[in-house]
Amino acid sequence: PLQVKRFCVADAANYCDELQSIPGSATQKRFTCNGVLFGTEAHQNNVSKLLSSMNGSMVYTGGKYVINAGQYIAPGVNDILTEDDLNGHVTLTTSTKRSDRFNTITGVFNDPDQLHKQVEFPKVQISSAVTRDNGEVLTKQIQLSMTNNVYMAQRLAYQMIKRSNDQMVLDFPANLKGLRVAIGDRVKVTINQFAGSEADPISFVNKVFVCTNFSFTDSNAGGVNLTLIEDTEANYYDATVTPALIMPVAAYSSVDLSDGSITDGFRGVPAPSSLSAVG
């Protein structure tokens, strides 16, 4: 049977507490939550603010609220869905529409060095994501109202762009076995009909997806409709103090408080080369 892991608040907290190196030969916790919530604000808005501090999610499943941080938790060896678990025809979408894409993030965070005012953090842009979008800069603006560190803000934005790399969406109508899958769970999907050749980059043998939506089917056979989005561990790597040589991981941008100048760690779109003028 499919045994999908369930994680609790303590697991998310332990992940957030892991120390990360930042410029200045210092370390800090990966994610912390620092800000103000107002009782007059809608409950859902306050929850969303709390979750924004760790790129997290909260779902209600099995009579409990489950909180997940922006963390990759690999599926177990038995966490597999195959054609045998289908209750209808699958639908595959290979990429998201342009209006939902982004490769650059700008936004604000609460800066304790400026009396906790909301100030802009350095722009985060990943050149490979810009290349993915045919060289077009697509910007997303975010508000990190529960984040109070410039490097933490960049870390959150960097992960958001990385996670946008995987755009393949699989609508999987499952039989009752799908009841074991909750939103936020990762499963390995094997569909032989979609399995690519060695030259085909799309392979559906133990391909990892994360569940983002769950609903009961209207068919008489019973079952659930699962919305699964492609997911990989590399999307959750943290930015580093210096760019990695082997793995393409970006460095942090740093701000000189004396004059406000920014040393850009995210190189963005590379400058054109080998150009020549034609008369």
Q: What is the pLDDT of residues 99-110, one digit of tens each?
A: 889 999 999 999
**DSSP element (H, E) containing 110:** strand 104-111
Pairing of strands 80-82, 186-190: parallel
The region of weakest confidence among 134-148, 152-166, 174-188, 196-210 is: 196-210
Higher pLDDT, 21 or 248: 21
State residue 179's pLDDT score: 86
230, 192, 224, 239: which is closest to 211 by C-alpha?
A: 230
86, 72, 11, 63: which is closest to 182 by C-alpha?
A: 63
State residue 61's pLDDT score: 78
State residue 223's pLDDT score: 86
| C-alpha separations of 95 from 79, 192, 220, 273 in Å | 25, 21, 31, 30
Predicted TM-score (pTM) above 0.75:
yes
State residue 125's pLDDT score: 92
Higher pLDDT, 264 or 177: 177
State residue 173's pLDDT score: 93
The backbone region for 50, taken as left when phi is positive above 0, alpha when psi lies in -120 to 50, beta otherwise, is alpha
Name beta bridge partners: 210: 186, 229
Higher pLDDT, 273 or 92: 92
The torsion defined by the Cα of 118, 123, 124 and 129, in degrees rounded to 10, comes to 130
The region of weakest confidence among 101-105, 161-165, 209-213, 244-248 is: 244-248
State residue 48's pLDDT score: 95
The region of weakest confidence among 120-129, 180-189, 202-211 is: 202-211
Q: What percent of the chain has pLDDT over 90?
A: 49
Kindly indicate the confidence band of residue 203, based on its pLDDT and cuts at 50, 70 and 90: low
- Give the separation between CA 121 and CA 105, rounded to whole angstroms: 10
Q: What percent of the chain has pLDDT over 70?
A: 81
Report the mean per-residue pLDDT for the chain: 83
Q: What is the mean pLDDT of residues 197-218?
A: 77
Burial (Cβ within 10 Å: 0-12, 13-18, ≥19) of residue 261: exposed
263, 262, 250, 239: which is closest to 151 by C-alpha?
A: 239
Higher pLDDT, 248 or 213: 213
- Give the separation between CA 101 and CA 107, rounded to whole angstroms: 16
Contact by Cβ (8 Å): 86, 174:
yes
**CB atoms closer than 10 angstroms to residue 91:** 11
Name beta bridge partners: 20: 28
The region of weakest confidence among 4-18, 58-72, 173-187 is: 4-18
